[in-house]
Structure 1
Amino acid sequence: MGIIQRLDEQLSNMIAAGEVIERPMAVVKELVENALDAKARFIEVKITQGGIESIEVMDDGIGMDPSDAQLAFERHTTSKITSKEQLFAPEFLGFRGEALPSIASVSDVVLKTSKDEVGTFVHIAYGKIMQVRPHSSSTGTHIRIEGLFRKTPARFKHLKSANYEAALIIDLLEKFSLSRPDVAFKLSDETKILLNTSGTNQMLEVLASSFGNRIARLAHEFTLKDYDFTIQGVWVDPQEHRSNNKGILIFINNRIVRSWYLQKAIVEAYLPYIPAHRYPVCVINLKMDAHLVDVNVHPSKWEVRLSKEQQAFYLILDGLSKQLREFV
């Protein structure tokens, strides 16, 4: 008899969670992406002990009907992909059908959601369904996560302090608000509001919330276009430079991404104007046909590949260089 065995569903979910869910910030990322995909215009996040103790995400999106509310916790179930073509050109931020089952396998989850008049309440504790029942609630979704990694000590011990984990979540929500200034975001902890944006689509207003009023006063909005790309963003006067690259934010089709190559284009445009080994403050959002970007590089979806990356590089470099020459 062979010794290879098929893993049960709960263990498979826990392994997937190791790829997708590394810390509280990753939970918030997945849940906020789901809220944005559900066309939410207001998203509120509440954290306790930096998300280690609890995370709540509430939105006014389209919500889920009773059958979808349960199916959402099964792996590889999604409302966003119906063909292999869509997998390689997704129009949504989250689409693999791994996030919710992964989260539910390593935490205690309560979901309240409503699409029509009758809502649904789902309670899952560390992969086990505890309760499913009708629930009266307004349209949208409210999900509460407690005890993340409490039953997986090997992962729990790698979490940092509550302040450190909270700082990562603040940074993430600031990025979400800059990628979607048309959506109102609110983030709070046990004692105070950490971020609050209006959702009025005023980029400089959101920039002030994230980087401060001084940065917003030195900021300039711009748009660059060619046949394949439209780039909207904000560049900040070179007099405001930093010791690290955290002031450079890149979004692709509103998705938060990490791209050292495109970041290099921004840095090179600023080279004549800032001291060596310093970095500018600049935010860009590249819009393109979904078929030009591959988001299937890693389950976390931080990394992407562009099929015309060099073209995008020079559009940024040349366009931003021209902007700086004219205004500086």
Structure 2
Amino acid sequence: MSFILLFLLACSLLASARATCNVCNTVNNLTCYSLTQTQACDASNLPTGSPFSCPTGYVCVSGANGVICVPEASAESSQADCQDCNKCDTSNTFACTGTSSFALCLGTDTVQDSVGTCADGYVCNINDTQICGLPTNGIMPTCSYAEDATSSSSSSGTTTTTTASPPSTSSPDAYCAAVQSEGRFAVGNDAYTTCRQYILCTLVSGSWQGQTYTCPGSLYFNSTSSQCVVAMPSTCSTSVSSTTSTTAAPTPSNPDAYCAAMKSEGYYPVGTDPSTTCQQYVYCFLLNSVWQGQMYTCPGSLYYNSASRICASALPATCSATVASLTLNGVALE
């Protein structure tokens, strides 16, 4: 009996010593930033600075010996942290990509080119039926990444970076490589076009990647709150350009433009509103080398399920008040 108790105690200590992504281990003051990356912690026991990659074929493990990189083929690798980051849930509906962000899987086991954000205060959990949950209710983030503060470069003293010319936003990848910080960044100050756009920068396997998104409807991107808002930010100007594009904006309300952005034949969701767009879907197809789309509405009180790709009675997880925004291939769902 005493042996069993000791075994259980040892297991519990191991479990408590292990950490999830972005939780500092006090043994060596490090944390696992991703499945294959580590990150240093500051004096306040908070992750800081740029992540470091483990050697090829190694994974990050946080345990009683601190945060270390172990061979992927070793027995210790089963204790690796961040294993569920960018991993589709059992229904192949979504995958958590950050503390409060997720991506659609569209019925596959592969993360699609999409970005979803949880409502304020909510975190993404791969086992949550509504994708995002409240930490106060015991829901912890499945994939918590450290977010570099945009002001960190100026906190270490006087620098000249604040007066340098801003990097071009024409190439999202190049822009993010220049910014060297994860987050959302405003594209421009044209009230008719660029004020509605933002670039999402992420660090993937040590490489900076960027994607340009457009706020839904008539919303503007606010660089202070990093959200799409109704009120036009003071940085936007209506006199920047007197012309507007004649090309139809790629929105679900315009199926042809939507499918031109998808560039793939199939069925796609329209939005996240349970009373309207959650019941709709768009079928994209290529006709005479031109992408075309047709919008359909599920019959009766059925909803379109992006994972099963059928109309179903259950409200999809993407149609929850816990979801703040959702884009697919750069197109904001309504």
TM-score, normalised relative to structure 1: 0.28
Between the two structures, name the one with larger relative contact order (CA 8 Å, sep ≥ 6).
Answer: 1
Structure in which a larger fraction of residues adopt helix:
1
Larger Rg: 2
